[in-house]
Amino acid sequence: MFLALREIGRAKARFGLLVSAIALLVFLILFQQSLQNGLLTSFTGAVKNQSAPVLVYSVDGQRVLQASVITPDLEQRVRSTEGVGEVGAIRQGTFTGAPLTESENFDTSVIGYDAGADGEGLGAPASLSEGRLPTRAFEGVASAADARNGYGVGDVVRIVPGDAEISIVGIAQEAQLNVGPTIFVSNETYLELVAAVNPDAGVPPPNVLGVAPAVGVTDAQVVEAINGQSLELDALTRSDAAAKTPGVAQVQQSFAIIFLLYALVVPCVTGLFFLIVTFQKAGALTLLRAIGASARSLVWSLLLQAVIILGAGLALGILLYLPVSQTRLGGLELQFEEGAVIGWSIALLALGLVSSLFAARRVLKIDPMEATTGRGVGQ
Amino acid sequence: MNALELTDVRKVYPVGDSEVVALDHASLTLGQNEILALVGPSGSGKTTLLSIAGGILSPSSGKVVVGGEDISDYSNGQLTRFRQEKVGFVFQSVNLVPFLTAAENLFVVDELGPRTGKPARATAGKLLDELGLAERTKNLPSQLSGGERQRVAIGRALMNDPDLVLFDEPTSALDTGLGAQVMELIRSEMKQRGISAIVVTHDPRITEYCDRTVQIVDGELSA
Ligand SMILES: Nc1ncnc2c1ncn2[C@@H]1O[C@H](COP(=O)(O)OP(=O)(O)OP(=O)(O)O)[C@@H](O)[C@H]1O
Ligand SMILES: [Mg+2]
């Protein structure tokens, strides 16, 4: 304890540099973790954070809402599947949205669901940060990330062409689709929008079905039962649906490689640092061994230093990450990822400690006899 | 009880396929409160004998008894503890931990075993005082002169209240005048505490400060 702390105290610059390096790496890791999660949430948040526990796509839709089409025949099969409780139609289309308060237009995903009188039907946004669900025609709930771009409560978004207007009555958290503004409306409103944009379109079939299992049936059981009904049906739990959206896995893989590299750099830097320091102070360690320090106490001292330095690096890195995690980056809303902070802290601490075992091995190899031969420090 | 009894000690270093006999048939008895000068040419086995007496090195054969404690067959762990509690060392050159101040270089001895804390700090202060280093307690080794460093090392060797202190050429890095001063200091500290000591040297002038002289040539002792 004494030795470990004194050494750090006497070599503040050197240990400070290591702390800074670790802090920077921790910051980068956490920042990219936020970036990844922000990216995925704005990509598939509307799928993940809606109320239907199970979503049924058509197989040829390849798990893309807009590309999936549920024919009346398929819908009938789903409805008659054992274990299925409630079923709701969900439609999705991309429209050009022109918020009345803005001069700009935005590609806007509109999601229609069987809202019902209270707006709480299957496919409703799961958590509102403001306002209420749509209960009347031409009302909608917009994604929170876009509230300040004319999609806030009380704003009106005109859909062009056709000039139908949606009044925003609520704000849904983490409910974007395809990294753009997203509005949840009733299916009735959705069909009015489609008719306004293209009067010849007719009534489009649902893109997917939202399903709630019957009482006593699990989501997984319903998924299995529905998939057993037809080769053309592709039922998924909502979190699977989000995770298996095309592109998500690729994004995760790319980030995983980046994370792996960082996860290697931190222990490499730490391990190398302590190895070099151990070589440099070999004379002092030999002397200490010769005057009666046990090898174990010197190793503890080393590991204690590693814990202190890694802990300080982590704390500093998290401190740097804190303000950045509250910001927006382009269209992305970043968040402070507690899970990532805890997970990475544990992982990096463990990896750093493991890497300093190389230095510890060196300490264990020190022969106190060398103190007598005159080699080493002090002269 | 004698401070040290070496009986027929032999030490062989393996070097490649052959061996170097550094110490052969070495028998030596050191009485209570006796200061012994061990004199011999370079490579004669002085450091080897000292290392064996201090439990840094195990003999190839023979018996080593320090203050009544037979350490001949001690394990590494036992030797570490023995060094921690029973002997003081002043080495040929590596003597101080560079990132600890003079006072901390003494105090660190207390950290190696069961800590006593405050009393150890007091002892360290008192020792440095006696050694004329009261003004240098907060200096790092790099901020001390050669003679001061050697005195700090002597203080360090006394910190664990040893039965036996082993000095390996304590004055070789110092000029003649300073060497004499340091030897005087060693003698007075030993006699005052009633501690036995071996002082290795190849300087005959140093032997004047010792009670008895033993010669070593090619690993063999002669009075
Ligand atoms: N670790 C070792 N491995 C092999 N041979 C060694 C080792 N240590 C010492 N020797 C050899 O043992 C002999 C005695 O060495 P020792 O260090 O005891 O001599 P010394 O009398 O202290 O010499 P000096 O006055 O130069 O310090 C020498 O021949 C030396 O080369
Ligand atoms: Mg020697």
Question: Which B-chain residues 36-65 have CB contacts (< 8 A) with chain A?
Answer: 47, 50-51, 56-57
Residue pairs spanning A and B at CB distance below 8 A: 102
Judge whether B151 and B124 are in contact, CB under 8 Å. no
Give the model's pLDDT for residue A112. 96
**Pocket lining for ligand 1, CB < 6 angstroms:** B 13, 15, 20, 22, 40, 42-48
Q: How many CA atoms lie within 13 A of A171 on its CB side?
A: 15
Q: Which residue has a Cα nearest atom 22 of ligand 1?
A: B47
- Give the pLDDT of residue A378: 35
| Phi, psi of A5, rounded to the nearest 5 degrees | -70, -40
Sign of CA dihedral A141, A143, A145, A149: negative
A287 contacts B47? CB cut-off 8 A? no
Cα→Cα distances A357→A215, A243, A295, A343, Å: 55, 38, 13, 22
User: Which chain A residues are Cβ-neighbours of B91 within 8 angstroms?
Assistant: 287, 290, 371-372, 374
Low-confidence ranges of chain A (pLDDT < 70): 374-379
Residue in B13, B21, B215 to alter for ligand 1 test, most ligand atoms within 8 A of Cβ? B13
Given this model, what pLDDT does residue A376 score? 39
Nearest chain B Cα distance for residue A21, angstroms = 23
Q: What is the pLDDT of residue A377?
A: 35
Other beta carbons within 10 Å of B114: 8
Q: What is the mean pLDDT of residues B114-119?
A: 87
Whether cis (ω within 30° of 0) applies to the bond prior to B204 is no
Contact: B80, A284; criterion CB under 8 Å: no
Yes or no, beta carbons of A294 and B80 under 8 Å apart:
yes
Strand partners, B12: B21
> In this structure, are residues A90 and A47 in contact, taking their beta carbons and an 8 Å threshold?
no
Cα separation, A35 vs A281, whole angstroms = 42
In chain A, which residues have their Cβ closer than 8 Å to the Cβ of B77?
A: 294
What percent of chain A clears pLDDT 90, i.e. is strictly above it? 82
Which two structure tokens, joined as six digits, stand for A232?
């053309």
- Give pLDDT, residue B176: 84
- Whether residue B177 lies within 8 A of chain A, CB to CB, comes out as no
Q: How far apart are the first and last CA of chain B?
A: 21
Residue A290 contacts B, CB cutoff 8 Å = yes
Top mutation candidate among B18, B38, B46, B214 for ligand 1, by most atoms within 8 Å of CB = B46
- pLDDT computed for residue A374 by the predictor: 56
Chain B partners within 8 Å of A371 (Cβ): 56, 89, 91, 94
Q: A83: phi > 0 → left, psi -120 to 50 → alpha, else beta; which?
A: left
Could you tell me the CATH number of the domain that includes residue B129?
3.40.50.300
Task: Establish if A378 touches chain B: CB-CB under 8 angstroms.
Answer: yes
Q: What is the pLDDT of residue A329?
A: 78
Q: Mapping DSSP to helix (H, G, I), strand (E, B) and coil, where does residue A162 land?
A: coil
- Domains in chain B: how many in total? 1
Is ipTM > 0.90 here? Answer: yes
DSSP 8-state symbol, A152: S
Residue B198's domain comprises: 4-222
pLDDT at residue B81 in the model: 95
The CA A194 to ligand 2 mean position distance, Å, reads 97
Query: For all residues of chain A together, what is the average pLDDT?
Result: 92
How high is the pLDDT of residue B172? 83
